[in-house]
Structure 1
Amino acid sequence: MMMKSSYSSYLSILFLFFLLLVDKSLSKSGARFSLTRAVFMPHHPVIGGSQWDQTVETVEQQESAPQPTKQIKGLSKIKDYFSNFGYLPSSGGTFNDDLDQATVSAITTYQRFFNLKITGDLTNETLQQISLPRCGVPDMNFDYDVSKDNVSWPMSRYHRRWFPDRNLTYGFSPASKIPSNATKVFRDAFARWAGSVPGLNLTEMNYNSADLKVGFYNLDEGVEDVVWGESIIRLNASNVVSGEIRLDATKDWKLPGEKGENGTALDLESAAMHHIGHLLGLDHSNDEESVMYPYVLPSRRQKVKLSSSDKENIRLVYSKGHSGNGGSWGVVRIVTTLALGFAYYAVVLA
């Protein structure tokens, strides 16, 4: 990790020490998504991830400027992170610990996208950003094909209207046993999106026949520490069959008006707004006010109101003549698991 002063190094060490304290103070629960009292029971979500702790412990602080051939033990895990979210091309195998020019470029692109100070090295500010809980959909630079598994992430790099029809349906997974006050959160979110586009209708129907499907799953394949949910599109040839919202059932989800157990809950309404936006055709935004911003920021714990950019983008997607059908498809690799865990510090969602 490249730091520009001993003072910055000191601050970074304090931050890493804080992460370790959080990790040791909170135990990882194997509890499944369970519902009692018609509300979400807290699952004491993992705040520290051992793989990320090991990474930040072993990535030593450096005093000199980054060099293309410099090796930093543990950097391969950070490369995985940037690769999975679209900033670094796949290595075709496992990444090494070389701080090469491609990695410096990935860090720079990441810093530019999220309006961080552009340095090309892993500053304390950059590490804090990647430690935050976030959506599992990549931010950029993915091509698509349906030759494998007929499933893809929602399109990134530009907005894509997946469903040509303006009359769409949604349904809730019976297996998730989502309580009525939680399904109401989603109904309100669907209504809010429908109201943003003239002629767009979103109505509820049974899960199996619905265009947009909502469910909760145990996302426990190495992503549970940082990713709170994901969206996917199922296709047949070049035609969209359905879109799915997949939220992590092991997280502590906060319903409207609740603070959540231990102040660590994630806001369900914000997550609903974000992932509905993906299925309607919106990419991630670097506007911190947007519901499509991929991270949960401590300063913006709840985002359910569409920003000006959200309204403009969704209207663009559903403008006359704009369609997701046709066009060329590239090669897709659907990443069903991120090969690393990331610790994030406790985010209080009041």
Structure 2
Amino acid sequence: DAEHLRQISELFLQVVQEETGRPFPEDVYEQLELSIKAVFNSWMGKRAVDYRREFHITPKMANGTAVNVVTMVFGNMGNDCATGVGFTRNPGTGVNEMYGEYLVNAQGEDVVAGIRTPKPVQELSNEMPEIYRQLVDLRNKLESHYKEVQDYEYTIERGVLYCLQTRNGKMNAAAMVKTSVDMVAEGLISKEKALLRINPELLEQLLHPQLDPNNKIPSVAQGLPASPGAACGKCVFDADSAEILGRSGQAVILLREETKPEDIHGFFASQGILTSRGGKTSHAAVVARGMGKACVAGAEDIKIDVRARLAVIGDIHIREGDTITIDGSSGLIYLGRIDTIEPKFSEDLKTLLSWADEYAVIKVHANVDTPERAQLAASYGATGIGLCRTERMFNASDRLPL
């Protein structure tokens, strides 16, 4: 309540006094200058350095960050106010539909931080029908203008809709493929643009195993399917442990109540992410989708105790080091390791690869060791065999001595 917030503010002021040796400045211009410097200095913060190292961003490519100073609107001034995050298409599947989440009487950080579990944007059509209509118009204008799937943020203050920012949306491989094919069919982009918007390395996600749909092992909990794909690993409860174990070659799942930007190094080293709070547009979900990692968010039946290194689901206790499996496509969570199946090429991917063949100036040959692998390579579009180790084709009892 308000009294709690007042006490917290006083504690923050004490921390500033103790850490800087001077009271928090009262001059608003000094506050603004310090804020701008903090953004500039964030370029060398740990999570920023970790991010640039992971994605090979050199100083020649980018060597600093910019600062925008703008006026602010408030989504927490009453029940005719709200804040939300949206995508112009579903970033998990690529389907052309209204997608996003919002909270009434809240600020933007409440949505993306995962502190509160927000509502699906479709519910806004009942709570604020006129605002929802305006939001649909906004979504259509953004995509029509940028000709790319957009990730946008908005605030509703006193019944007025404000678009705060927009950027190209981060999606998994399946969604990137589908949106590329669909946007060509809609006349929004060309085939060449459809190919160039996809990082070839991203397509490797589509070759990863999925959970066996015939699996009979019951799930123990369910959250929101925030980033598709299956992941299995040992539970860890902080990003540092995830990084240490992941770099040592162990498969880990990072469990948090909600993730924060400073957890980024733990994301890089984890097979998947599981949070007990937050929605499909929370920090964990957005970052996981961009990395192609499985994520289940907002699994509210799971009580995560980071200090005790423990997750509790009813009578079930999951301790650090225990193995779990998460399915980012369904939101289901399982104890132990679950069988997986080989992925299949979608019709959208076949279409996209056929366009790539139209522009290709070189052919792709595969390295295979068995007839089965040769057939698989041909089904994936390989035009020949570049390297073949024939000794692999012999059974162990029939191998010829060299």
Provide the TM-score with structure 2 as the length reference: 0.26
More strand by share: 2
Larger radius of gyration, structure 1 or 2?
A: 2
More helix by share: 2
Q: For CA contacts below 8 A with separation 6 or more, give which structure has more relative contact order.
A: 1
